[in-house]
Amino acid sequence: MRPITFVLAGLALAVVAKIGVTLMDEPGFPSADDNAPFVSAASAAATDDDTSATTPEPKVCKAPEELLASIQQERDLLEAQKAQHAEREAELDLVAETLEVEQQRLADLKTELEALLDKVKAAHTSDVDRLVALYRNMKPKDAAAIMNDLDIEVSVMVLGTMNERDAAPIMAALTPVRARAISQIILERSKLPGDQRLGDIKL
């Protein structure tokens, strides 16, 4: 190269350096200290981005095995209680059904018994009516002679069923002791059971 070229290059460098120094001395030109906040902010933002990128997300805590076992135990207990309740209801239904059957059977038995008692009562009434008619058609002395030796209950039943007009002659023909006993029994039977004194009657 020519010496003139070196000279021109040196002059150009000097001019550029001079211009740079002049600009740095200007008031509005930002200095290295002024750029520090921006650098710090950028660094902080970069740090935050790195932190957010590297921070792991919180994991959801799973239920402990003891809690799961307790829940399962409660479920088993509820199922057992449900089964017991269902079994108890079935037993109550069976008892109610059995009771209903027994009640129906007792009702049927009561109906049969009442019918049988009605038949017995009708037969008894018929027999008593025939017996009363028999003694009524007899002579009073003959009827009294039989009743003196007849069971006292039968005599009371017959004379108590007769009307007063038919019973009076027979009673008059009875022995005084027998007539007095029959009269007292008929009188005591007209009272309430608690007021009756049949034990004091002497035949």
Note the pLDDT tens digit of each residue in 86-113: 999 999 999 999 999 999 999 999 999 8
139 φ, ψ (degrees, to nearest 5): -70, 140
The reported pTM is 0.39
Gap between the Cα atoms of 129 and 92, Å rounded = 54
Angle at Cα 67 formed by Cα 65 and Cα 68, nearest 5°? 65
Confidence band (pLDDT; 50, 70, 90) for 193? low
177 vs 56, higher pLDDT? 177
Dihedrals phi, psi of 55, to nearest 5 degrees = -70, 125
Phi/psi-derived region of residue 30, left when phi > 0, alpha when psi is between -120 and 50, beta in every other case: beta
What residue segments make up the domains of the chain, in order of their start? 69-124, 138-200
Length of the chain: 203
**pLDDT for position 62:** 53
